Structure 1
Amino acid sequence: MKSMLSILGGFLTAVLVIGFALCLSVNSLIDQYGNNYILSPDKVPNSDVIIIPGAKVNQDGTPSNSLQYRLDLGYELYEKGCAKKILVSGDQNAEYYDEVNVMCEYLKDLGVPAEDIFLDHKGIDTYHTMYRAQKVYGVTNAIVVSQHYHNVRAVYIGRQLGMAITAVDAKDSKTVSMAKMTLREYGARFKAFIQAGILKPEPKELEDPISIFSDGTITQNQ
């Protein structure tokens, strides 16, 4: 009995060690890959669209610090002429939680015309955001605006799906624990490696194509 338990314990330990080593390797791979395409605002090439992934919205309906930093930088790049359209993508699953409309209203308050803002209401995670950008909105090249830890993964996913993606880093929020976020990213990047690098699953719901060069108001008020 002790021999069996010893063998089982050794096996489980080996599995954990291998799994941990694999996560470290995948994290390093995606980090190195993504960093090649993260550029400063003055170096990023002009693209068809700026993609701003969603983040936490406060209970009062205002963007969290992290999200506000993304939106402000996205607006800055739009004003510089880096892209003529902005695609905001996020979660709108719950009746009382809505990322994309909050993002849209914030950008309109900054002065972005409504027709230049597209809303993806089903960007439930980074993979869905990038996959739907390509398949629903016809995006072939884009600038992603998010925090660095997120941009690395978004670039990897987008390029594995065949898009020419670059990114610009927004400021980090001081209210977010970077240690906690770093730990979370190990799992998120491993998931991205499986999804975008190997399986490439199609999301359950894909609407009819909407050209990113058309009028963004057709995606609003939903």
Structure 2
Amino acid sequence: MKTLFKRFIKLLLITLFLLAAVIFISDYWVIRQSKDHTFHSIDELPENPTGLVLGTSKRVRGGGENLYFKYRMQAAVELFQAGKIQFIIVSGDNSIREYNETRDMKNSLIEMGIPEDKIVEDFAGFSTLDSVLRAKEVFGQDSITIISQEFHNQRAIFIGKNHDIYALGFNASDVPKGYGKFITIREYFARVKAMLDVYVLNTMPKFYKDKEPFPNVE
């Protein structure tokens, strides 16, 4: 019995070590691949015809304001008003009738002064990979500025870079420490999945074969 227990502990430790190594390598590689492509300063950010806002819920559980959503909307408006982007794709989950990230983002941007004809809705942005690849495959945009928090932009740029998309990231304001603990932990595993999607599984969006019209870029 003691021998079996020792073998179990040994196997458990090896498994945990390998898992930690995979997480560390994935995190390092995503950061390295996106280096020099994310920006905090609008002045330093190159112009790009199209901005891509990655979706999230407008409200947190309990009904309170989602700061991730709020700061992404503010960042998108700042870029548009500064002339850094001409159009904004709002890409989010619309898988159930009562939940519509895309429509919430569009309505918020309009309320903040963005003309409706400058906003393009992507209702099939079920994941970061879906949103980034659909910008190219569905809307024909292979040069985009991704708008989200820095950690999210890094992963999105990594995905885009490996699918021949020229992607920059404008970093929306981060949330206060402690606000997004679960999001931070989840991101480590999301980076592992992104590595698998890109290098092993060759994952494509759930819907990407039907093309959608996109406004003419000046």
- Report the TM-score when normalising by structure 2: 0.88
Q: Residue 63 of structure 1 contacts residue 102 of structure 1 at CA under 8 Å; is this kept in 2?
A: no
Deviations 1:14-64 (A, max 9, x none): 122112111111111212322321122111111120000111222899962
Task: List per-residue Cα deviations over 1:37-93 (Å, max 9, x = no partner).
Answer: 112211111112000011122289996222121111111111221121100011111
Match of 1:115 in 2: 117
Q: Give the match for residue 25 of structure 1.
A: 25
- Give runs of ≥4 in structure 1 deviating > 6 Å: 59-63
Amino acid at match of 1:165: A
**How far apart are the structure 2 equivalents of 1:210 and 1:115?**
15
What is the count of residue pairs matched by the alignment?
215
1:173 positional shift: 2.5
1:7 counterpart residue number: 7
- Please tell me whether the aligned partners of residues 88 and 119 of structure 1 are also in contact (alpha carbons under 8 angstroms): yes
SS of residue matched to 2:20: helix
Root mean square deviation, CA, Å: 2.4
Structure 2: 5+ residue stretches without partners: none
Which residue of the partner structure matches residue 58 of structure 2?
A: 57
Task: Assess if the C-alpha contact under 8 Å between 1:146 and 1:170 holds in 2.
Answer: yes
Which residue matches 1:132?
Answer: 134
CA contact (8 A) 2:136 2:165 kept: yes
Hey, what does 2:185 align to over in structure 1?
183
Partner of 2:165: 163
Stretches of structure 1 lacking an aligned partner (at least 5 in a row): 216-222
The offset of 1:165, in angstroms, is 0.5
Relative to structure 1, the CA distance from residue 16 to residue 175 in structure 2 (aligned partners, 3 Å threshold; closer, same or farther) is closer
Whether the 8 Å contact between 2:147 and 2:170 is mirrored in structure 1 is yes
Aligned counterpart, 1:146: 148
2:191 matches 1:192? no
Cα distance in 1 for partners of 2:178, 2:164 equals 32
Distance 2:29 2:49 in 1: 27
Identity of counterpart residues, as a percentage?
A: 26
